């Protein structure tokens, strides 16, 4: 039985449009690959993907997204694996696609946050970092829906994407025949 969240056609269509222009590398289509390509191609940022156990706590979030300058930091709980790991990453991509931008943090604040992100000691910092512990907010529900959408979208993505180098060779070969 397939679980459905009852997405509206408009939202699914908007998400598909947002992902349509991505040039995805050949190979396995994973949420992590989607995250890397979205951050690089759409956001133009560097990506730091962390599973650091130092910031994990049993009652804390399973994932978080923070920005610092031109870097996006995605943290995934080190105990997450397989489908759960992929869904957490899809959820964080959902925040990006939905425009739920976290407040940018300076390095000192980022360091402080990484030391205590999962301890709930600083409520303001907690809010600003896009950490999730429940789905009471609309933005968290939308990101969660996107996580499921991304899993389905990745399964339907074309098996092979245009290889830029191959396309360039074909173009040059055609011109050399003139």
Q: Where are the domains of the chain?
A: 29-154
pLDDT tens per residue, range 41-56: 999 999 999 998 866 6
Q: Are 65 and 94 in contact (CB under 8 A)?
A: no
Beta bridge partners of 48: 73
Q: Are 72 and 136 in contact (CB under 8 A)?
A: no
Nearest of 80, 66, 63, 93 to residue 154 by alpha carbon: 93
Does the predicted TM-score (pTM) go above 0.85? Answer: no
Q: Cα(108)–Cα(125) distance, rounded to whole angstroms?
A: 12
pLDDT tens per residue, range 91-135: 999 999 999 988 777 767 766 666 655 455 555 554 555 555 556
- pLDDT for position 25: 87
């Amino acid at each position: 039985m397939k679980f459905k969240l009852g997405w509206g056609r408009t939202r699914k269509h908007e998400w598909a449009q947002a992902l349509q222009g991505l040039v995805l590398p050949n190979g396995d289509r994973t949420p992590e690959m989607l995250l890397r390509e979205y951050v690089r191609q759409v956001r133009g940022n560097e990506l730091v993907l962390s599973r650091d156990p130092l910031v994990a706590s049993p009652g804390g979030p399973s994932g978080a997204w923070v920005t610092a300058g031109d870097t996006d930091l995605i943290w995934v709980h080190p105990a997450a694996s397989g489908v759960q790991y992929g869904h957490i990453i899809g959820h964080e991509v959902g925040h990006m696609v939905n425009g739920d931008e976290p407040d940018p943090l300076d390095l000192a604040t980022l360091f402080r946050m990484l030391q205590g992100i999962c301890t709930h000691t600083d409520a303001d910092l907690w809010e600003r970092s896009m950490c999730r512990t429940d789905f009471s907010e609309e933005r968290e529900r939308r990101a969660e829906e996107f996580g499921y959408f991304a899993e389905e979208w990745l399964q339907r993505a074309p098996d092979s994407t245009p290889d830029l180098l191959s396309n360039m060779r074909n173009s040059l070969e055609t011109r050399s025949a003139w």
